[in-house]
Amino acid sequence: MHQFPLPPPLPLHHPAKYPLYPPDAALSTPPAKQKSCSHCHATTTPLWRREPVTLKPLCNACGLYLQQRNKLRPQELIDADLDDGSEESDKDATGPECSHCHTRHTSVWRRSKTGEQLCNACGVYLRLRGRDRPLSLKRNKIKPRSKHRDTGSISPK
Q: What string of DSSP letters covers the chain?
A: ---PPPPPPPPSS-TTTS-SS-THHHHTSPPPPPP--TTT--S--SS-EE-TTT--EE-HHHHHHHHHHSSPPPHHHHHHHH--S--HHHHH--S---TTT-----SSEEE-TT--EEEHHHHHHHHHHSSPPPGGG--SSPPPPPSS--TTSPPP-
What is residue 145's predicted lDDT score, i.e. its pLDDT? 74
What is residue 62's predicted lDDT score, i.e. its pLDDT? 94
Confirm whether pTM is higher than 0.85.
no
Could you tell me the pLDDT band of residue 136, with boundaries at 50, 70 and 90? confident
What is residue 86's predicted lDDT score, i.e. its pLDDT? 47
What is residue 34's predicted lDDT score, i.e. its pLDDT? 87
- For the segment 19-67, what is each residue's pLDDT rounded down to a tens digit? 555 555 455 555 667 899 999 999 998 899 999 999 999 999 999 999 9
- For the segment 62-109, what is each residue's pLDDT rounded down to a tens digit? 999 999 999 999 998 888 877 654 444 445 567 899 999 999 888 899
Q: Where do the domains of the chain lie, and which CATH numbers do they carry?
A: 35-78 (3.30.50.10), 95-133 (3.30.50.10)
